[in-house]
Structure 1
Amino acid sequence: MKKLVSKLRFFSSSSIVPRCNNTPKPVLNPLYNLLPQTQNPNKIVDVICSTLNHRDHSVLLPNLRDEVKSLIPHLGYSEISRVLLRFQSDASRALAFFKWVKFDLGKRPNVGNYCLLLHILASSKKFPLAMQFLSELIELTSKKEEEDVFSVLVSASDECNWDPVVFDMLVKGYLKLGLVEDGFSTFRKVIDSGFRVSVVTCNHLLNGLLKLDLMEDCWQVYNVMCRVRIHPNTYTFNILTNVFCNDSNFRQVDDFLEKMEEEGFEPDLVTYNTLVSSYCRRGRLKEAFYLYKIMYRRRVVPDLVTYTSLIKGLCTDGRVREAHQTFHRMLDRGIKPDCMSYNTLIYAYCKEGMMQQSKKLLHEMLGNSVVPDRFTCKLIVEGFAREGRLLAAVNFIVELRRLKVAIPFEVCDFLIESLCQEGKPFAAKHLLERIIEEEGHEAKPETYNNLIESLSRCDAIEEALVLKGKLKNQNQVLDVKTYRALIGCFCRIGRNCDAESLMAEMLDSEVKPDSFICGALRVTIRLLKLFVKRGVDIIKR
């Protein structure tokens, strides 16, 4: 017996367990069979399975690590697969072991281990769990071109119980993670191998390819569906209608609709809305209104989407009055307009310079409890600006504020800038002060610079200096255009000393004077010395 023990010690201390690619090979020496299970490398699978067979394996598994600490290095990918295969009919124990390996031992299972677990979970109808681990596997392998999950899944199906739905789930898993092209490639492999894909997964694939503008691939998927007799549903045809509308073969839509009806599917509201919207975008309003009439004949009631498409199409074609008539027809049908449908009409009226109608529509919005958005206000203010009616735009803003309508600050900023450019700085300054007081917004430095420049051009130097002080309190620097306007104003009103002081301040702020500023000051000898001292080049006028 002493000789046997000494031989065991010799074998355990020698390197008789080769390792290749971090996967331990089985220890085949028969002398290990004389050791207790928890010390025998050949028995690591038996020890783990024995623990898992215990009723309360969730408690025993964490403690197992300490008991078989010396054997953990011998738990390779092959051993993990053997344990999973022993519990292929007991998904909960297989899953407990997989998580123990991954989280407690810190080992990363390989693709084969994942695929065995996926087959076990799918065959046990634990589909949400299977999808969870499938998504995890796809993320692990998506950047490794040599890892083909589909091929390993097929190989793993020879060793364990499996459900073909797992291949459908694989395509869906790629699509779920946004890997549409990988999903399409896997779809073709699945079909070529004789497996089935559900119509739901096909619809997800078609939708993903449509969003990527891969129209040819969409038709390939549809042709495959017809070939292997995956029966399309209404959702399939609605997606394909979108494909037609975005494809160059738009004239074949009627033929496609006929085929849809031959398959036993009636075009629904989504189908008609897709077609009406596409006809309107392409300026084919005659066909759009023909479909609109057909909808009523077939008892498909047009909704807000239908009418908004028609209104937008008419507005784009310059037929604003007809668009408004269609809008009223929509109201008569009992369909409540939303902000988008109002904005479509308001935009058209503003484009035509019909500002009174635009304002009337906005008041109608408020009366119907439809809240204007930032786009609504922007449309009307910019419409007034194009017409040169800036003061009317200011009154419009004040009126909206009185009606408790929130005005986006960028709209007010645009109006302030427009007023400054038009030489109306006092109206701009009053509007800014009102916004700051009521809304609590702080104006951007560019807004202050525009106001200072505009006030200076109007020789309102004191008001300009007040704003300059506000900028300075915000630790903001004036730009060269603002200095140019202030210095030019000082020179015009005969305050040359103030102009020279401002020049010195400008140089301290490292803003270089331009030729206009130098010409306005008729550069004195004292200023020339200041320029030389500060290293400023004088540009001759």
Structure 2
Amino acid sequence: MNWKPIPIPHRTVPEPRGQDLDFINVAHSHLIHTEWPKLRLLSTGLTPLRVKHILLKIQKDHVLYQEFFNWVGIQKPSCHTLETQSIILHILTKNRKFKSAESILRNIMVSCTIDVPLNLFEEMLHSYRFCDSSPGVFDSLFKTLAHMKKFRNATDIFCRMKDYGFFPIIESCNAYMSSLLDLQRTDIALAFYREFRHHRISPNVYTLNMLMRAYCKLGKVEKPLRFSGRWRSWDTAIRVFLNFAIKLRNSMEKNGLNPSVVTFNTLIHGFCKEGKLQEASKVFIEMKAMNVAPNTVTYNTLINGYSPVGDSDISGRLYEEMLKNQVKADILTYNALILGLCKEGKAKKAAYLVKELDKENLVPNASTFSALIYGQCMKKNSERAFHIYQEHD
């Protein structure tokens, strides 16, 4: 990507002079000494310029700046311009007072015209440097608009944020997607997902839940499975898929969904990969209960899951069920079975399965011999292990 963000503009703050300076100093003194009656006498002299400079002077006092801001709103609301409001938002966000910031943003947006959010963004942008702010201030604006279902404004703010290299956090992206899905705007929600993934915003389990919702509404149940391999946390991703698989049978009639063998194979593979064999078995049972026929991949995945932990009995039963259901076993099936037997020191049974390969017109490969060598080593039969190695070599 050759894209580069636009540099953040730098607006200097003119120093107050004359009567403005005198008023600010006196008001500041009353404020820090909590002399509200004296301050009230000065309220008629408040101006946006004076309010701005007082806010900047007290910005390190987490309680006082919000009390003063609220007081101004009562005494002289006209002094709360977009500039003074942007300053209080910078101060609140910088001090991690996100709920207070969102409350102010909601009050601004409740009866605002369509252009106010972008104008506020511009004011926040120009006051960003002299307030020594953090990117969270823009995220708060985007998230509030998403929660309020002001999608046009939220989209505009997201685009402007991108221009300057600011990106919302995943929780804010989720809020936007969720609101879109609630209003049946699945197409826009999915387009937004692709957009924020393009900018490397990492999704979380809630995002995956919404992806599942979105694709189910479109009747594309298999689509989310393509994303699963890109997720950092298989554990959380698979948990979502499992919940979906269990609930799917009850919602099939309502939603017209028919999960395929691919859906269940992905679930089983994920659980086996995490060593959660009990959960994998539950999905396998659920699969058969929903009349979705297991295939070679299904059985291989389960046998591969049980064999490394030395549970050849279960692997054997799966193999027998496989043959009974006329599901074709391949070299991967036999290799997994052989490895499981060798791990339990059952070298003779493993050798018997090797002979079965000829009957099935299957050719042993490196994994087959590796399992057999491992089995001989387990029995401390190093000569036989070396002999197998030489035969393979």
TM-score range, shorter chain: 0.5 to 0.7
The counterpart of 2:90, out of the listed 115, 119, 123, is: 119
Mapping 1:131-530, distance limit 5 Å = 131-141=102-112, 143-146=113-116, 148=118, 149-247=120-218, 250=220, 253-264=221-232, 265=234, 266-268=237-239, 269-272=242-245, 276=249, 279-281=252-254, 283=256, 285=258, 287=259, 298=271, 299=279
1:24-50 deviation digits (Å, cap 9, x = unpaired)? xx997xxxx7xxxxxx56521121112
Rate the CA distance shift 1:274–1:209 in 2: closer, same or farther, 3 A.
farther
1:405-451 deviation digits (Å, cap 9, x = unpaired)? xxxxxxxxxxxxxxxxxxxxxxxxxxxxxxxxxxxxxxxxxxxxxxx
Rate the CA distance shift 1:202–1:113 in 2: closer, same or farther, 3 A.
same
Rate the CA distance shift 1:177–1:273 in 2: closer, same or farther, 3 A.
farther
Rate the CA distance shift 1:209–1:300 in 2: closer, same or farther, 3 A.
farther
Structure of higher RCO (CA pairs closer than 8 Å, 6+ residues apart): 2
1:358 corresponds to: none
2:10 corresponds to: none
> Cα RMSD between the aligned structures?
3.5
Q: Aligned pair 1:61/2:47, yes or no?
A: no
Question: 1:151 and 1:301 mapped to 2: Cα distance?
Answer: 56
In the TM superposition, residue 194 of structure 1 has moved relative to its aligned partner by 0.7
Question: 1:181 and 1:301 mapped to 2: Cα distance?
Answer: 46
1:51 corresponds to: 30
Question: 2:224 and 2:200 mapped to 1: Cα distance?
Answer: 18
2:64 corresponds to: 93
Partner secondary structure for residue 267 of structure 1: helix
Question: 1:263 and 1:146 mapped to 2: Cα distance?
Answer: 38
In the TM superposition, residue 239 of structure 1 has moved relative to its aligned partner by 0.7
**What is the TM-score normalised by the length of structure 2?**
0.57
1:470 corresponds to: none
Question: 1:273 and 1:178 mapped to 2: Cα distance?
Answer: 32
Rate the CA distance shift 1:284–1:172 in 2: closer, same or farther, 3 A.
closer
Question: 1:231 and 1:302 mapped to 2: Cα distance?
Answer: 30
**What is the TM-score normalised by the length of structure 1?**
0.42
Question: 1:276 and 1:184 mapped to 2: Cα distance?
Answer: 36
Match for 2:39: what amino acid?
Answer: L
In the TM superposition, residue 82 of structure 1 has moved relative to its aligned partner by 1.4
1:265-306 deviation digits (Å, cap 9, x = unpaired)? 343234435755665445455x37986798678416979xx9
What number of residue pairs does the alignment pair up? 260
Q: Percent identity at matched positions?
A: 22
Larger Rg: 1
Match for 1:239: what amino acid?
Answer: M
In the TM superposition, residue 125 of structure 1 has moved relative to its aligned partner by 2.1
Rate the CA distance shift 1:293–1:262 in 2: closer, same or farther, 3 A.
closer
1:35-89 deviation digits (Å, cap 9, x = unpaired)? xxxxx565211211121232xx1xx1233222x3xxx444211111111112222
Match for 2:225: what amino acid?
Answer: L
In the TM superposition, residue 113 of structure 1 has moved relative to its aligned partner by 0.9
Rate the CA distance shift 1:159–1:193 in 2: closer, same or farther, 3 A.
same
Give unpaired runs (5+ residues) of structure 1.
1-25, 34-39, 311-541
In the TM superposition, residue 140 of structure 1 has moved relative to its aligned partner by 4.4
Rate the CA distance shift 1:236–1:300 in 2: closer, same or farther, 3 A.
farther
Question: 1:270 and 1:108 mapped to 2: Cα distance?
Answer: 53
Rate the CA distance shift 1:289–1:138 in 2: closer, same or farther, 3 A.
same
